[in-house]
Amino acid sequence: MRRNPLLLPACCLALSVLSCAPSASRTVTLAAGKDPTGQHQALLAEFERQNPGIKVRVLEMPESSSAQHDLYVTYLAGRDRSIDVYSIDIIWPAEFASAGWLMPLESLFTAGELEDFLPGPLAGCRYRDSLYAVPWFTDAGLLYYRSDILSRHGLKPPVTWGDLINQATALSRSEGLAGYVWQGQQYEGLVCNFLEVLWSCGGRVFDPAGRPAMDGPQARQAAEIMLEMLRTSASPKGVLTYKEEEARQLFTSGGAVFMRNWPYAWTISQDSGQGSAVAGRTGLAPLPSLNGRSSSACLGGWNLAISRYTRHPESAAKLVRFLTSVRSQKHFALHGGRLPARASVYADAEVLAANPHFAQLYLAFASARPRPVRPDYPALSDEIQLGLHRALAGNVTVRQALLDLQGRLERIAGMDR
């Protein structure tokens, strides 16, 4: 059930965050996905030291963002009061804000503080010009590669999808490894991978008039490129069951030459203490593109939002401010490999010394493209996942899958009338 976000005026919500009197002892519950960096507890322990009387309980969500989304909808639609702060994917603020489930947060920051956040992630937190979430860390798709293997064969990192397919196919055979691994399971990660290919082909989900564009030549070209990866054995068929961690584990165990993943995998790949067999032998590059076009990374990342139904708005606001602060984002960058959502952290000498690739790839991070910012995006994504996965699994032709998908997206967008 959708609720009008104006049922509780924004001014009242903002005042409640700043003026509700805290009780003597409070427990704030943070709902978040599994922490692959191992740094959440360290930051939360520091928050508790700085805020005596406030305890933070973490409610761990499923690894799949799609499953996490569905749980959040269940909690929020039921006006659940047990969760105060939600870690939400960048594609959810519009949906949740339009339903009236989130508190407006503009008053938590000065204009100067907001200017320090990268424009893309901050824009993804707005709905109808109001801020309903705060960027926690950002993400952009990157190409990981085995620098030792490419060097041994006299190769440079691929810059086009054709280069990647050719290199991955040849090196897979000569090295006895998987060539290129990515996220092909039927979930949100598949949409990200598809959009990165689609954008590099000059395509988009919606045309300038707002009509779905899945029946166009660019969408067919993008889907055919992904299918070609499987046909040529550049990618193992198993990628159709992979999420981030399945791809990451295969790559860091030494079982793949190339990988598409988010930046969190960099720190793990360089840490032999975490079992990485490729520490010191991994390189990073922008994702490939089509000949003559720019690389297009999908903007990812997670934001923090406060439930409209929280019992502890002031304590929740303190937690959000702390976790999105420069200090916390610097800690994440140094120890967890997370991409900061604040521009100032990228200029920090200590951060750049620990993450020299930040400087090399900053423009890719700052210019990453968002998925469609629409309240109906989850429904659109579900259809893209289903249609594309059927085509890649060989259950239907690419042409038929995209024609069917076009009709379903038109119905969701209300354009089939």
Give me the pLDDT at residue 338, please.
82
What is the pLDDT averaged over residues 31-44? 88
3-state secondary structure at position 267: helix
User: Mean per-residue pLDDT for 16-41?
Assistant: 74
**279 CB burial (10 A radius; 0-12, 13-18, 19+):** middle
Is the pLDDT score of 224 beyond 70? yes
pLDDT in tens, 110-155: 999 999 999 889 988 999 989 999 999 998 999 999 999 999 999 9
Q: Closest Cα partner for 184 from 242, 139, 130?
A: 242
pLDDT: is 334 or 155 the higher one?
Answer: 155
| Amino acid of residue 362 | Y
Q: Label residue 166 by pLDDT band (50, 70, 90).
A: very high
Residue 306, φ and ψ in degrees, nearest 5:
-105, 130
For tokens 């990485």, the residue is 276
Q: Minimum mean pLDDT among 42-56, 220-234, 243-257, 371-385: which range?
A: 371-385
pLDDT confidence bin for 9, thresholds 50/70/90:
very low
pLDDT at 24: 56
From the list 61, 2, 110, 23, the residue with the least C-alpha distance to 313 is: 23
Strands (E), 113-195: 126-127, 130-131, 134-140, 142-146, 178-181
Cα dihedral across residues 190, 183, 174, 279: positive or negative: positive
pTM of the predicted model as reported, rounded to 2 decimal places: 0.79
Residue, of 157 and 414, whose pLDDT is higher: 157
Tell me the DSSP string of 318-363. Answer: HHHHHHTSHHHHHHHHHHT-PBPSBHHHHT-HHHHHH-THHHHHHH
Look up tokens 């959009």; give the residue. Answer: 195
Q: What Cα–Cα distance (Å) separates residue 13 from each residue in 17, 19, 113? A: 6, 10, 20
Bridge-based pairing of strands 130-131 and 134-140 is unpaired
Please give the pLDDT value at position 2. 39
Average pLDDT, integer, range 263-280: 89
* pLDDT above 70 as % of the chain: 94
Of all helices (H) and strands (E), which one includes residue 306?
strand 299-306
Domains observed in the chain = 5-139+300-361 (3.40.190.10), 142-296+376-412 (3.40.190.10)
Coil vs helix vs strand at 151: helix
- Summarize pLDDT for 383-412 with one digit per residue, the tens: 999 999 999 999 999 999 999 999 999 999
CA separation for the pair 223, 392 (Å, rounded): 8
Residues 6+ apart with CB under 8 A from 2: 98, 99, 100
Residue-averaged pLDDT of the chain: 90
Residue 292 has a pLDDT of 75
CA 254 to chain centroid? 25
- pLDDT at position 416, please? 57
Residue burial 24-34, b: 16+ Cβ < 10 Å; e: rest: eebebbbbbbe
Q: Residue 386 burial by CB count (10 A; 0-12/13-18/19+): exposed, middle or buried?
A: middle
Q: Which of 344-353, 357-366, 369-378 has the highest mean pLDDT?
A: 344-353
Sign of the CA dihedral with 16 first, then 20, 23, and 25 last = positive
Closest CA to 191 of 222, 163, 212: 222
**pLDDT tier at 358, thresholds 50, 70, 90:** confident
Q: Give the mean pLDDT of 11-22.
A: 43
* pLDDT surpasses 70 at 23: no
pLDDT at 350 over 90: yes
- Exposed e or buried b per residue across 96-109, where buried means at least 16 C-beta atoms within 10 angstroms of its C-beta: bbbbebbbbbebbb
- At 275, the amino acid letter reads G
